[in-house]
Every structure is written in structure tokens, then in C-alpha cells.
Amino acid sequence: MAVQPVKIPAQEEQPLEDTVVKIFRCSKVVKGGRRFSFAALVVAGDRAGMVGVGYGKANEVPLAVEKAVKDAKKALHRVPLVGRTIPHRIDGRYRATKIAMVPASPGTGVIAGSSARAVLELAGVQDVLTKVYGSTSAKNVVKATMDGLLRLRSKEMVESLRGVEVEAVKRW
């Protein structure tokens, strides 16, 4: 008698959304004039803790965006959240950019510039305060925001890493 495989119900995954953060135009001077090429910076996420950043280049904008979306979906990362906000204050760094992200009380919203806002909203963060120091270029801000989000640790992660019980302090 053969054993029948048991179907395990798949977890309900939310569909991935993507946002174009910025389109970059590059020109090359050739004999007949100028040739333009385009690059797209895209963020993809499910608004429930999964987020990724992609970058694509092509001779036309739609192709560049398509490549960037594909790249972003390949580079998805899980981000720990506490309700609608991040677990603790964190600084993200990338080259000349530093971004400070602070958890905020419910109802505050995402207080951030357009580049950081795209990453935070698609990660599922709804209440956070941010401040960018140094370079404010879109590429650097997006990468610094991702750096900060990837270095976040939930209470459970810290407890398992240290082998002790951690007491959470409620600030608001």
C-alpha cells in the first residue's frame, strides 16, 4: 500500500507590489548626436515584512523598470516589525549617507523623504520617524535604509542570540 502525499496548506502570501523610486538618464555623445540610456531604481515588497531593492539599465525606460523589478524580487529580505513600527532605533549607513530611523507611536505615519518612504512603506512600516544625514542621492538613501532595516533585531531574536530573557521597555 503506497503512502499518499499530504497537502500542506500554503501560507497566505500577499502579492508583491513595486514602486519606481527614480529613473536615471545617461547620455553618450556619438558621431550622429546623443544616445540616451536609462536606469531604474525600484523597490518591491509585500507591506508585511518583505522588501527588496532592484536596479536595471536599458535603452528604454520600460525595459529598465522591468529589469529592476525582476532584480528587486530576487533580492527580497525579511524585516522584523513590532505592530506598525520598527522594534528599536537604528542607523543605516551606505557610503556618504546615514539615515536614522526611530520607532513612532501609532498614528504618526511614515515621516521620511521619497526614497526612504518607498522602502519603509513596502516593508510594512506605518509609523516611523527618519532623518537623512550626508548625501541625499536616491541610490544611497535606499541602500542605507535597507542596511538599517536588515540590522533590526526583534525581542525574540535577541533572546535566542544571548540566551537570556529581555525586558521590553515601552517608550510611549
Residues 6+ apart with CB under 8 A from 8: none
* Domain positions in the chain: 17-77, 80-162
Instruction: Please state which CATH number belongs to domain 17-77.
Output: 3.30.160.20
Q: Which CATH class is domain 80-162?
A: alpha beta
Question: In angstroms, how far is the first alpha carbon of the chain from the final one?
Answer: 61
Written in H, E and C, the secondary structure of 72-135 is HHHCCEECCCECCECCCCEEEEECCEEEEEEECCCCCCEECCHHHHHHHHHHCCCCEEEEEEEC
Domains 17-77 and 80-162 share a fold: no
Say what the pLDDT of residue 36 is: 94
Q: Buried b / exposed e across 129-160, counting CB within 10 Å, b at 16+?
A: bbebeeeeebbbbbbbbbbbbeebebeeeeee
SS (H, E, C) 134-159: ECCCHHHHHHHHHHHHHCCCCHHHHH
Q: Give residue for cell 535606499.
A: 142
pLDDT for res 107: 92
| pLDDT value of residue 90 | 94
Longest distance between any two alpha carbons in the chain, whole Å: 76
Residue-wise pLDDT tens digits, 99-122 = 999 999 999 999 999 999 999 999
Half-sphere exposure for 60 (CA within 13 Å, toward CB): 3
Task: For the chain, 172 residues long, give each residue's pLDDT as a single digit of tens.
Answer: 455 554 444 445 678 899 999 999 999 999 999 999 999 999 999 999 999 999 999 999 999 999 999 999 999 999 999 989 999 999 999 999 999 999 999 999 999 999 999 999 999 999 999 999 999 999 999 999 999 999 998 888 888 888 888 776 665 5
